[in-house]
Amino acid sequence: MQQIQHLINGQSVASSDYFETINPATQEVLAEVASGGQAEVHAAVAAAKAAFPGWANTPAPERAKRIRQLGELIARHVPEIAQTETNDCGQVIAQTGKQLVPRAADNFSYFAEMCTRVDGHTYPTPTHLNYTLFHPVGVCALISPWNVPFMTATWKVAPCLAFGNTAVLKMSELSPLSAARLGELALEAGLPAGVLNLVHGYGQQAGEPLCAHPDVRAISFTGSTATGNRIVQTAGLKKFSMELGGKSPFVIFADADLDRALDAAVFMIFSNNGERCTAGSRILVQKSIYADFAQKFAERARRITVGDPLDEKTIVGPMISPAHLAKVRHYIELGPKEGATLLCGGLDRPSYAPELPERVKRGNYVWPTVFADVDNRMKIAQDEIFGPVACLIPFEDEADAIRIANDTQYGLSSYVWTENLGRAHRMAAAIEAGMCFVNSQNVRDLRQPFGGTKASGTGREGGTWSYEVFCEPKNVAVSL
């Protein structure tokens, strides 16, 4: 059995305890993974602290060279990393191989370039020359969830290290494998020992002491709202960015380009197995086109290929774990009880869906499920289900759409479909969310701020927005 160890100070470090990581499509045990606690966290933070002055004082072009090299190594290993990721977390290979792992490589090339361009703002006055220095913060705790683990981890590691910080990365206990490979490639890229450390383990045993550690200066966390709240309450005074849950509205007006809106709506709830923080899980459709839209949407959902995540044709793979499958099934069961109409999918394999291939028969599968006649106050419309379950909610007019879109604790992403330019801008301004995509699915431009408002988190990452967590700005005022 393969064993995965921690990476501390450039060394592979064993643990007294191990946990198994399991392929959610086949239930096969993929590896035994070192389970860290206080001791490993202390050692990793100490290594990161010791490596910090050297790395922070390495000239930015030299840091950039190593960061770029890491991106190039990832780009060279895309098929291998994508397969590891797909086996470990069930995200389909068409996504990991063509989108997510290549994007991880891009994260490094982007921030390598950017760290050589950090400049201070200057505010000259007749009496003073004011300018701003951006210093690295120090040791950062980077915590990743299981849904797109490699991309999310690199999205944190790349800016963190590029700006001169050192890091302790903790992956989710449900999907630790691809990041273990990241640690190996980081050493191959010439990152000095201690600059990137990896402690594996469970949230409370490894994640909590890491966040609470007094030598950790900043926390970049992606995960659930419940965990984010807990960290904010227990970590003490630190810089942090919290990328949390969502229940994003996907609003379609009667004047929208319906075919494109349908494609995007299907993509935004069913791709990545529906396990996507920015999923358009509440689909708000104007009443005059609601019935037609619902019928066409369900027709497309029925045609989605559910199956082996290693098959290039598969769109929906298995849920990450039996526990998460049970949660998603709970909401599928709840929908009709709350008064929603089940248009397709449901608890068991529907008759129109082919049988699963033999290899994945024991996987954690659920079929794309569509509920119509959903009222926004139902639990299926308020709770983050984090699976391939769409809620179709009718609305009257612009004001009604805004009211429903904002009637949620979350505020991560939003989508607006209309051919009316003025309305598109009004909606984009009125919806309470960190992001709004107009006539578009979610696209990521690395220069833009990524993050949410309300219970979806606080802080933004991306481009210069990443300074917020990974840099300490200092005002210098020189008397003239």
Q: Which residues are catalytic?
A: 243
Distances (CA, A) of 335 to 291, 347, 391: 19, 11, 9
Q: Which C-beta is closer to ligand NAD: that of 233 or that of 479?
A: 233
Q: Are strands 18-22 and 29-34 parallel, antiparallel or unpaired?
A: antiparallel
CA–CA dist 275, 366 (Å, integer):
12
| Cβ distance to ligand NAD smaller for residue 406 or 409 | 409
Q: Interface residues for ligand NAD in 156-175 (CB under 6 A)? A: 170-173
Q: For ligand NAD, what does the binding mask look like between residues 340 and 379, x meaning CB under 6 A?
A: ----------------------------------------
Cβ atoms of 186 and 158 within 8 Å: the answer is no
Q: Which of 22/285 has CB closer to ligand NAD?
A: 22
Size of the site for ligand NAD (CB under 6 A): 32
State in angstroms the smallest separation of the CB of 316 from ligand NAD: 17
With binding defined as CB under 6 A, does residue 222 bind ligand NAD?
Answer: yes
Segments in 19-59 forming alpha helices (H): 38-56
Site for ligand NAD in 196-215 (CB under 6 A): 202-204, 207-208, 211
How big is the chain by its Cα radius of gyration, in Å? 23
Strand order in the sheet with 415-417: 341-346, 367-372, 389-395, 282-286, 249-252, 415-417, 437-438
Lay out the site mask for ligand NAD across 374-413 (x = CB under 6 A, - = otherwise). ----------x-x-------------------------x-
Asked if 92 and 317 count as a contact pair (C-beta separation under 8 A), the reply is: yes
Which of 364, 467, 311 lies closest to 146, judged by CA? 364
User: Side by side, which strands form the sheet with 18-22?
Assistant: 3-4, 29-34, 18-22
From the CB of 215, what's the least distance to ligand NAD, in Å? Answer: 16
- β-strands 367-372, 341-346: how paired? antiparallel
Draw the binding track, 262-291, toward ligand NAD (x: CB under 6 A; -: no contact). Answer: ---------------x--------------
With CB under 6 A as the contact rule, the residue among 230, 300, 359, 403 that binds ligand NAD is 230
Q: What is the DSSP letter of 191?
A: P
CA distances from 428 to 265, 424, 455 (A): 17, 6, 19
The single-letter DSSP state of residue 306 is: B
Contact (Cβ atoms closer than 8 angstroms) between residue 427 and residue 383? no
| Separation CA 4–CA 268 (nearest Å) | 34
Kindly state whether residue 40 participates in binding ligand NAD, applying the rule CB under 6 A. Answer: no
The answer to the question of residue 231 lying near ligand NAD (CB under 6 A) is yes
248 in contact with ligand NAD (CB under 6 A): no
Closer Cβ to ligand NAD, 33 or 401, answer by number: 33
| Widest distance between CA atoms in the chain | 80
Q: CB of 321: closest distance to ligand NAD in angstroms?
A: 9
Helix (H, G, I), strand (E, B) or coil at 296: helix
Site string for ligand NAD, 70-109 (x = CB under 6 A): ----------------------------------------
Q: Among 244, 252, 381, 436, which residue sits at the site for ligand NAD (rule: CB under 6 A)?
A: 244
Q: Which residue is nearest to ligand NAD (CB)?
A: 203
Question: Which of 183, 223, 387, 394 lies at the binding interface for ligand NAD (CB under 6 A)?
Answer: 223
5 neighbors 21 (Cβ within 8 angstroms): no
C-beta closer to ligand NAD: residue 316 or 455? 455
Q: Which residue ranges make up the site for ligand NAD (CB under 6 A)?
A: 143-147, 152, 170-173, 202-204, 207-208, 211, 222-224, 227, 230-231, 243-246, 277, 384, 386, 412, 452, 457
